[in-house]
Structure 1
Amino acid sequence: MVIELLKCHGSNNDFLIIDEMENPLFTEEQRSELALLLCNREKGIGADGILFVLNSDHSDAKMRVFNADGSEASMCGNGLRCVARYVCEKLSIQSAIIETMKANLEVKERESILDEIPTYQVEISPVSFELKDLPLHLDQKTLINEKIQGLSEISYTAVAVPNPHLIGIVTKEQIQSNIQKDISEKVNNPNELFPDGVNVSFVKPLSEGSIFVRTFERGVGFTNACGTAMSASTLVTCLLGINEFEQPVEVYNPGGKVRCVAHKVDESYKIDLIGNATFTHRLQVEIQLEQQIFSYVKKEEITKEISQYKSLEEHSKQVLNEWL
């Protein structure tokens, strides 16, 4: 089978897009197998996951996300920006509704975040602080800036957006240590607290209205960026009074930066995630899933977009060098 692929990234969190809108190509089992085959950085193309774009009965399109380990994610903010751009350009529209596992989400094209970089805004919701929605097994309903006995001395907030996140506000020394790696591996291997694992983010406030977020992503490991983690981290800093609701927060990450705005309406929350949707390669590959092999038929680098994003990387590095 020969298929077309588009390699893309949001904040250097990279993906492969497979369009199944006109013709569903794969079974559930094959989607998982395909992620294991193609996302492998040593033997495959290399990516954090595959974004499958399908038809939706009630939205402009449907997104399904399969991580590099073959597991399916309920949501992916950086991936959604890439799918938003793909769908909007395919349908010649500036805004759309994308169906995800837990919600139908608004997406739209925005002014460039820097130097003509293609930029999209996506809605991150629903948001829940109830531990049963992660799930996190503790004898309490929520965890807001509290220590978890036996885990570490850092205080955490647990939130589902809708995928699960454990977020700690940390010092410069803590973010540069091995604490995050040790904790992340503990809660993503068999454990009594998080039966399904959890994304773990360390957040370092920078100047007013800006933060740095480093994330260990469930099913992936440390990533250049995790869109839902940056969104959830922004929301947590607003809850704790570090930043303000309805105000833009510049969120720096190892792969660049995004802009987030947290909203509170009565007792509910949602976050706008605004950032790049960069297309880096157009690929055509021949796949033999039964033999777990593939070969390139065509590989075209989109040099202009790769070059455009480097300016954002350099800007982010300069900012982080001042603070970390």
Structure 2
Amino acid sequence: MNFKFTKWHGCGNDFVIINGLEENIETIQPQAAAICNRNFGIGADGVITVCPSENADFCMRIFNSDGSEAEMCGNGIRCFARYVYEAKLTTKSEMTIETKAGIMKPKIIASGDDVLVTVNMGNPVLQADKVPVAGFADKTIISEEIIVDNENFHITCVSMGNPHCIIFVDDINAVDINKWGPVLEKHQIFPNKTNVEFVQVLNRSKLRMRVWERGAAITLACGTGACATLVAGVLNNLCDRQASLQLDGGLLSIEWNESDNNVYMTGPATKVFEGKYSG
């Protein structure tokens, strides 16, 4: 399998982006795990393909490092938007991108020497059976206690097109994410599995977040996770509707707009290198 690619990252969450308008991407999904392998492949958290869309400017598909397909990816869509713009696939600095979680609207913003991308991530989904979380019907899950391997966790569940389980902690450095991340990801109450965010509130306008991503394990950042975390913080009255989230790989600015109920994410998207894959 041969194709040209470009490597991008958003806050250290890295992706192999392939232009499916020019490259044959029919067999990408079965190859995603091999492509993402950091020892024997290119190395990435996911593979993103640029596809045509009848409903938007482009369609984005994303495959995790285990080969599973994700509904959406916040860091990925920022990278996608800047890639198609800089590759001159579009002249629009504000565009529409179809995803499995709906149509997203990223906007490229020049800020001094930096280039940031703001994305309207849409309305958060709070109804348990739509996140989905089993056994809670249409309830909103806010600081609900569950017991996992004799450990108590208070979870808040939000979907940003993909499921998130947010847990607020006193000291994020004391959390064994490698232990609890996979157990919570595959817990029986999450029929589609879940992403897991551990969050320490530094103040009402700054949160520290670490993530165990469904299908990718620990990553340096998760854009949809940052959005879900801000929403969870507001629901628990722990933070304001606009805050900075410090992730392992960098800083994201998140706002849950009260007037339109949409969540807006702003952050960087950085090109790393271009190459050709022969596998």
Q: TM-score, normalised by structure 1?
A: 0.80
Matched to 1:237, the amino acid is G
1:225 corresponds to which residue?
Answer: 221
Q: CA deviation at 1:88?
A: 2.6
1:273 corresponds to which residue?
Answer: 265
Q: How far apart, in 1, do the equivalents of 2:209 and 2:110 lie?
A: 23
2:256 corresponds to which residue?
Answer: 262
Q: Normalized per residue, which structure has more helix?
A: 1
Within 5 Å, give how 1:52-201 maps onto structure 2. 52-89=49-86, 90=88, 91-112=90-111, 116-140=113-137, 141-150=139-148, 152-172=151-171, 175-189=172-186, 191-201=187-197
Q: CA deviation at 1:235?
A: 1.4
Q: CA deviation at 1:243?
A: 2.3
Give per-residue Cα distances to partners, 1:222-242, cap 9 Å, x unaligned: 110001001111111122222
Q: Normalized per residue, which structure has more strand?
A: 2
Q: CA deviation at 1:62?
A: 0.7
Q: How far apart, in 1, do the equivalents of 2:136 and 2:6 lie?
A: 45
SS at match of 1:153: strand
SS at match of 1:43: coil
Quick one: structure 1 residues 265 and 208, their matched pair in 2 at CA, closer, same or farther if it must change by over 3 Å?
closer
Q: How far apart, in 2, do the equivalents of 1:49 and 1:278 lie?
A: 15
Within 5 Å, give how 1:310-321 maps onto structure 2. none
Unaligned runs of 5+ in 2: none
Which structure: larger Rg? 1
SS at match of 1:155: strand
Matched to 2:117, the amino acid is Y
Q: How far apart, in 1, do the equivalents of 2:184 and 2:199 lie?
A: 18
Q: May I ask how many residue pairs the two structures share in their alignment?
A: 275
Q: CA deviation at 1:24?
A: 5.9
Task: Please identify runs of 4+ aligned residues in structure 1 that moved more than 4 A.
Answer: none
Matched to 1:243, the amino acid is C
Q: How far apart, in 2, do the equivalents of 1:150 and 1:16 lie?
A: 35
Give per-residue Cα distances to partners, 1:158-180, cap 9 Å, x unaligned: 011110000011111xx223444
Does the CA contact (< 8 Å) of 1:146 and 1:155 recur in 2?
yes
Does the CA contact (< 8 Å) of 1:6 and 1:282 recur in 2?
yes
Q: How far apart, in 1, do the equivalents of 2:3 and 2:211 lie?
A: 32
Q: CA deviation at 1:124?
A: 1.5
Quick one: structure 1 residues 243 and 178, their matched pair in 2 at CA, closer, same or farther if it must change by over 3 Å?
closer
Does the CA contact (< 8 Å) of 1:180 and 1:200 recur in 2?
no
Q: How far apart, in 2, do the equivalents of 1:209 and 1:59 lie?
A: 34
Q: How far apart, in 1, do the equivalents of 2:40 and 2:123 lie?
A: 37
Matched to 1:121, the amino acid is T
Q: How far apart, in 2, do the equivalents of 1:133 and 1:61 lie?
A: 26
SS at match of 1:107: strand
2:276 corresponds to which residue?
Answer: 284
Unaligned runs of 5+ in 1: 287-293, 295-324
Quick one: structure 1 residues 39 and 111, their matched pair in 2 at CA, closer, same or farther if it must change by over 3 Å?
same
Q: How far apart, in 2, do the equivalents of 1:243 and 1:133 lie?
A: 24
Quick one: structure 1 residues 2 and 149, their matched pair in 2 at CA, closer, same or farther if it must change by over 3 Å?
closer
